[in-house]
Amino acid sequence: MKEARIIVLLKSDTALIPAKSLAQRFALTNREQEVLHHLIAGKARKEIASVMKLSEDTVRSYLRTLYAKLGARSRVEAAMLWLRMELLENLKSVLGL
């Protein structure tokens, strides 16, 4: 039964554990969370700035802060770390750990 729940989780488009709990763990501000969301969606810094109505320098600053808080060295590493942590949290929830 747990295997079936894990498969459903892996095929799901939505996370079971809200990203807010991870954001709180890493002390991410609402703006940092929004930048991270756009980063994970594959948007470039210029696109993020346009969507959020910020300067590219401000987005660059948010990205530097995100990298530091997550312990990442690049945008790809930050996105992968975040998605991996969300997956692990969801697996723990499904498995009851």
pLDDT attached to residue 87:
81
**CA dist., res. 66 & res. 33, Å (int):** 9
pTM: 0.71
Domain 19-95 has CATH 1.10.10.10: yes
- Please report, in tens digits, the pLDDT of each residue of the chain (97 residues total): 444 444 444 445 444 444 567 788 889 999 999 999 899 889 999 999 999 999 999 999 999 999 999 899 998 998 888 888 888 877 777 777 6
Q: HSE on the CB side for 72, CA within 13 Å?
A: 21
Instruction: Delimit the domains of the chain by residue range.
Output: 19-95
- What's the distance, Cα to Cα, between the start and end of the chain in Å? 15
Decide: 49 and 59 in contact? Cβ < 8 Å.
Answer: yes
pLDDT attached to residue 20:
65
pLDDT attached to residue 19:
59
Structure tokens at 7: 């498969």
